[in-house]
Amino acid sequence: MTTALFLLRCVEIGISIAELDLLTIGMVIDIWTEKGNDGATYDNLATQEDFDKF
């Protein structure tokens, strides 16, 4: 990933240059990835019972 592409990703998720002092590159990539998953639908959502079995 180039610097320009990294800064573009930051703009896409609303991170300012000042906020970058508080985040790592990995955190920004994780946030951007999660943004892409916002519209995902899942066939089966876990319930409390599922977590208890785990």
Asked whether the beta carbons of 35 and 10 are under 8 A apart, the reply is no
Average pLDDT over residues 29-51: 90
Tokens at residue 12, please? 């896409």
Average pLDDT over residues 33-45: 87
pLDDT above 90 (res 38): no
What percent of the chain stands above pLDDT 90?
69
pLDDT computed for residue 7 by the predictor = 92
pLDDT computed for residue 3 by the predictor = 92
**Amino acid present at 2:** T
Q: Where exactly are the structural domains of the chain?
A: 1-34
In whole angstroms, what is the distance from residue 35 CA to residue 52 CA? 29
pLDDT computed for residue 6 by the predictor = 92
